[in-house]
Amino acid sequence: MKYYIKALLNFSNFHGRSTSREFWYFCLFNLLLQIITFIIDIAFKLSFSILFYSIGVTSFLYTLVTIIPGLAISVRRLHDIGKSGCLLFLPIIPIVGAIWLLILFCSNSQPGENNWGPNPKETFI
């Protein structure tokens, strides 16, 4: 949970690097909390409709709160492997782009210092 809170508090930092552990724990807790907000929306029938799509109020609010921190940690994760944050646009390419981005997120950190700073794994060890 500390990685999740760290990512939320570090929401405006699109520079530097994030370890894979930090990124994946953020993703895990984000998914769990999204499921909880979805269950709350269903239990209390909290939803509104936009065109033909129904959106839960708590899920919508939670997504608004976490979208910027999620983008920031994703950019820092790409920086950790030595890639530009612009690669977050890869999912525009159908199927292949999302798979390629997932492979990049699963890649090991670039050892030593790169254009975006020192390796966070080596800094704390």
CA-closest candidate to residue 85, choices 8, 28, 17: 17
Residue with tokens 């670039």: 110
Percent of the chain with pLDDT over 90: 82
Q: For the chain, what is the largest distance between any 2 Cα atoms, rounded to a whole number of angstroms? A: 52
Token output for 30: 């984000």
Mean pLDDT of 108-123: 88
Q: Which secondary structure element, helix H or strand E, spans residue 48, and what is its range?
A: strand 47-50
Residue with tokens 């292949």: 96
Residue pLDDT, tens place only, 45-101:
998 888 788 889 999 999 999 999 999 999 999 999 999 999 999 999 999 999 999
Q: How far apart are CA 54 and CA 75, in angstroms?
A: 30
Are 113 and 16 in contact by the 8 Å Cβ rule? The answer is: no
Choose the weakest-confidence range: 61-65, 91-95, 106-110, 117-121.
117-121
Are 111 and 78 in contact by the 8 Å Cβ rule? The answer is: no
